[in-house]
Structure 1
Amino acid sequence: MPTPSEHTRLSLEQRLGEHARTAWPQLKQLHVHHRGAFAYVQGELVDGELVKLMRLRYGGTASRWGFALYYASGDRYEDALLPTGSPTGTPEDALDCACWLHLTAPDI
């Protein structure tokens, strides 16, 4: 599995941060942690609470990443499809999907 370069990791963080600022006002900021081919994304809410959102998997290109949602019920990440039906997509599409689930879905 390829590992993203430092430039790609920084670019990912910048892209996600910019998108979060414009599309998700509930988020104060994003925290992205890298481990090998994976990027783990947490959102910091305006009240300071940290929410695990998703994991992205680098596949060799900075424009398309594998996507996994975080499930608090099992404290795990699980590969998921984006609303497009694809298991890979842009980081922004993945963030929108994860935020829609974690920040706007009603509590069940």
Structure 2
Amino acid sequence: MPTPTEYVRLSLEQQLLEHADTAWPQLAALHIRHRGAFAYVEGRLPGGDTVKLIRLRYLGTASRWGFAPYSAAGARYEDALLPSGSPSGSPAEALDCVCRLHLTALGI
């Protein structure tokens, strides 16, 4: 499994942060951590609570990442399909998908 370079990791973070600022003002902040081929994304809510959102898997290109939303019921990340029907997509597509799920469920 390929691992992203520092440039790719920083690019991912910038893409996600910029997209969250414009598309998801309900989030006060995003926290992104990297481990090997994975990027774990958490959202901070205005009240200070943190919610686990997604695990992205680097597939060898900065524009398409594997998608695994966090399942609170299973307390783990589970590979899934994006609304497009694909198991991978852009970081923005992945963030939009999980924010629709998580923020709607939280009533935000």
Post-superposition shift, 1:106? 6.4
Q: What whole-Å deviation, never above 9, does each CA across 1:69-100 have from its counterpart, x for those lacking one?
A: 10011110000100000000000000000100
Partner of 2:75: 75
Unaligned runs of 5+ in 1: none
Code of the aligned partner of 2:76: R
TM-score by length of 1: 0.96
Distance 1:9 1:55 in 2: 13
1:15 aligns with 2:12: no
Give the secondary structure class of the aligned counterpart of 1:65. strand
Letter in 2 for 1:99: C
Q: What RMSD over aligned residues (CA atoms) do the two structures have, in Å? A: 1.1
Alignment correspondent of 1:92: 92
Flag structure 2 segments of 5+ consecutive residues without an equivalent: none
Provide the C-alpha distance between the structure 1 equivalents of 2:67 and 2:82, rounded to a whole number of angstroms. Answer: 8
Question: 4+ residue runs of structure 1 moved beyond 6 angstroms?
Answer: none
TM-score relative to the length of structure 2: 0.96
Length, aligned pairs only: 107
